[in-house]
Amino acid sequence: MVRIGYTMMTEQAGPRELVGHVVGAERAGFDFSVTSDHYFPWLAEQGRPYVDAGFTEVALVQIGGDRQEPFLEWAEAELLPALRELT
């Protein structure tokens, strides 16, 4: 089955604008969304821009990476429950 996704270009928009783009993609019927950047900041001082911008309100968000197997095991056990607590 073919799935069509939307890519958030973090070089072209800030976190709040990206959330708006993904909400629009979701309403338009896209199946998933990915980002051109990593989810976590390089430094703790950079904060959590996507979470702070309301990113957890978008149903299209799927946590993953280019090396998914170990990451997804960790995400299912720890990250996703933590994100659910934020909403």
Task: Indicate the domain borders of the chain.
Answer: 5-86
- Tell me the whole-structure pTM to 2 decimals: 0.51
| CA distance readout (Å), 23 to 27, 45, 59, 79 | 6, 27, 9, 22
> If you ran DSSP here, which 8-state letter would residue 58 be given?
-
Q: Is the dihedral of CA 26, 23, 79, 12 positive or negative?
A: positive
| 77/39: higher pLDDT | 77
pLDDT tens for 3-23 read 888 888 877 887 778 888 888
